[in-house]
Structure 1
């Protein structure tokens, strides 16, 4: 079993390299506004779950995920040339909704703050 610190560092390295590869080498038009948010590497360093955030509609997100799935062999090969490991982990891409969820929650907080500031405050004379 690998050292948890090594798993984390390898995940960060894979995320950085995949981001660079997606930006420069992947020519699939389906892979649009996608960014790597996190990479989880298994204890035996044989599997990596790549969390991807995609901006766009659900159809664009599905197309991007299909494009990444189709390009996983190419990306794994390119990673093997850039990172020296005994075994290059298998890449599994998962859609990450955390950025969209965070934006939704922030919008709700802003809406509540606007509603609170637009309501007139009651003075102490009215209460007495």
Structure 2
């Protein structure tokens, strides 16, 4: 039977692993969202570039469309594109940090289980419901 300190350490490591994994998934979802925004802004910019400067362009505001000059829409889309790029790079660094933390926690878990074979056997005998 594993002693109480090993079991407590295992529970802490397990909780940390769950927390890091949840944060990592959240960052990945945010990255996916920002990549989509970036792509939409890029595609919109590409379509606007093909239009002549005197073309009527409209901006969507909820259910309403408002007449805007092409230059204003171009600036807005360029800003959205830049903001999305910045957010993606920031989220990428967060993702890398969380992946390092996850690897560290996995190593801590392996080390704990190698030091206490009784705990490892006890964990392996548990059934997942």
Q: Which has the higher helix share?
A: 2
**TM surpasses 0.5:** no
TM-score scaled by length of structure 1: 0.29
